[in-house]
Structure 1
Amino acid sequence: MPGHLGMVMLVCAFAVIAAVGLVALAAFLSRRFGHGTDDRDPGGASAGHAGAMLSSLFLLVFAIAIVVPWTVSDSARQNTYAEAQTAAEAYWSAAGLPAPADLQVQQAVRDYVGFVVDKEWPLMAEGRLSPKGDVRLEALRTQVAALQVTDDEAREAKSAVLERLGDLSGARRQRAADATAALPPAVLALTIVTGVVIILFPFLAGARPSGAALLPLITMTVLLAVGVYLAWSISHAFTGGLAVEPEAFTGVLQEIQRLAAGR
């Protein structure tokens, strides 16, 4: 990873050097062959073209910084509902197991869902899952696989529970991947850099806004700052403004507890 980051920084440095060299070469050739006229006007063609391109670049990067986390959060939310539904199906399938294994497995599934809500969800804001969750699922799968069943109905129930537990493990791995997914730091950094350049561009172009002309510039600066903050706030699926909450698991847990109380 450090080697990859170093390569990216090296490529960026070469890109900057190449861009500066290209501008210098174009300016030299333009003067050498007497093409064009001097442009020192802050509202001239050079400043206007550069400003439009910088604005387009900022909008492109800002769109990426918003759309990518939004998509990741939406996908992560759907995955949590799928995982919670799988846990509920494992609970229902366990009802077909012979006593007392049926109640024991159902209790283990209920405890696992409660563990995800109470203990594991806060850890996902840090980009990780608790290894205890994997231990719980593996122990439950071992327990069900070791059951001795004789009749066809119990055998089918055992097979269904094992299948659901396998699906639950797969959904858990997907949630682990969602917890580590985040907006690349380079995208957020480029959003900030281009935003700052957009703010300073009138001064870089030679303009000296004053009086009422400062009002739209100040307004733009405030809005850009708010936009960059929002991009940072939603950069992770389980934190910030778009944080995925455990409502899918709490809903299943309430349903399981209601079913258990109705026995």
Structure 2
Amino acid sequence: MVAYALSIMAAVGAVALTALVFRRVKTAGEDRDPNGPSAAHAGAMLSAMFLLVFAIAIIVPWTTADAARLNTHTESQATVDAYWAASGLPGSAPEEVRRSLRDYVAFVVREEWPVMAEGKMHPVGAERIDDLRGRVNALQTGDDEEEDAKATVLEHMSAISTARAQRTADAAASPPEGLLFLTILTGVLVIVFPFLAGARPRGLAILPLVATAALLGFGTYLSWDISRAFAGPLAVGPEAFQGALDEFTRIAGGM
């Protein structure tokens, strides 16, 4: 934060120094016109700065949401693969493992997803995966086929844990600190700049400025509303896990 303040002070100081130097140049004239080169240049730069900040505020959450959506498909597919592989486990382990996988996926859809909208994860979810992984690891196998099935299930469980860790990071992800403030600041400056430059619009001339202010306000609100991957207009839904539950039913019906 100190570095930001110092950079702003340095920029303001550079402008003040430049203005002082050029005031001593006799050929230089005053620029008081709202349509003059100073106002035109500053207005263009403010608009460009707002567009740059606003683009970052939109692109970062959009990219995060896309990555989070792909990751949910990776995690749900790993549960389906583990469900398939569990058929080769010894004794009653196939039914137990499959029931645990169904319970885990149902838990994610019904209980964990609403919590993720707040940027958090339900602690029970990780405990369920760790418990199932430990039970599979403790199974005693009788032949090579059962050992291979056990190793395959553990491999898919590892993939589930990895994807879950990424989902945890996606839920907590947010745009860079200060980006929303900078978006609001530059948007306000764009709106009030004509008045600061000396313009005094009246009547119908003020309508474009009002429309611009409304659009900037909506854009700023949108950048805040999509800041979380699992909340807002871009929210990633549990469709991938619901599809996994349907796939479990199909697999169980075909066995």
* Superposition TM-score, scaled by structure 1 size: 0.94
In structure 1, C-alpha distance between the alignment counterparts of 2:143 and 2:104, rounded to whole Å: 28
Give 2:209's aligned amino acid: L
Kindly tell me the number of residue pairs found equivalent between the two proteins: 255
Q: Which residue of structure 2 aligns with residue 211 of structure 1?
A: 203
In structure 2, C-alpha distance between the alignment counterparts of 1:21 and 1:146, rounded to whole Å: 69
Q: Which residue of structure 2 aligns with residue 170 of structure 1?
A: 162
Deviates more, 1:92-101 or 1:36-45: 92-101
Q: Structure 1 unaligned segments of length 5 or more: list them.
A: 1-7
In structure 1, C-alpha distance between the alignment counterparts of 2:226 and 2:24, rounded to whole Å: 51
Give 1:162's aligned amino acid: L
1:245-260 superposed matches below 5 A: 245-260=237-252
Q: Which residue of structure 2 aligns with residue 3 of structure 1?
A: none
Pair 1:22-2:14 in alignment: yes
Q: What is the aligned counterpart of 1:129 among 113, 121, 127?
A: 121
Q: Report Cα offsets for 1:143-202 as digits up to 9, x if no partner.
A: 111111112211111110011111111111011011111112411110110000000000
Q: Which residue of structure 2 aligns with residue 5 of structure 1?
A: none
1:83-162 superposed matches below 5 A: 83-162=75-154
Give 1:224's aligned amino acid: L
Q: Structure 2 unaligned segments of length 5 or more: list them.
A: none
In structure 2, C-alpha distance between the alignment counterparts of 1:135 and 1:206, rounded to whole Å: 64
Give 1:70's aligned amino acid: W
Pair 1:46-2:38 in alignment: yes
TM-fit CA distance, 1:134: 1.3
Q: Do the aligned residues in 1 keep the contact of 2:90 with 2:142 (CA within 8 Å)?
A: no
Q: Which residue of structure 1 aligns with residue 29 of structure 2?
A: 37
| Superposed structure 1 runs of 4+ greater than 4 Å apart | none
Q: Look up the SS of the partner of 1:134 in the other structure.
A: helix
In structure 1, C-alpha distance between the alignment counterparts of 2:63 and 2:164, rounded to whole Å: 19
* Superposition TM-score, scaled by structure 2 size: 0.97
Q: Report Cα offsets for 1:105-152 as digits up to 9, x if no partner.
A: 111111111111111111111212112111111111111111111122
Pair 1:238-2:230 in alignment: yes
In structure 1, C-alpha distance between the alignment counterparts of 2:142 and 2:250, rounded to whole Å: 31
Give 1:12's aligned amino acid: Y
Q: Which residue of structure 1 aligns with residue 54 of structure 2?
A: 62
Q: What is the aligned counterpart of 1:78 among 70, 84, 88?
A: 70
TM-fit CA distance, 1:224: 0.7
Q: Look up the SS of the partner of 2:178 in the other structure.
A: helix
In structure 2, C-alpha distance between the alignment counterparts of 1:54 and 1:178, rounded to whole Å: 32
Q: Report Cα offsets for 1:185-236 as digits up to 9, x if no partner.
A: 4111101100000000000000000111111101101111111111111111
TM-fit CA distance, 1:35: 4.2
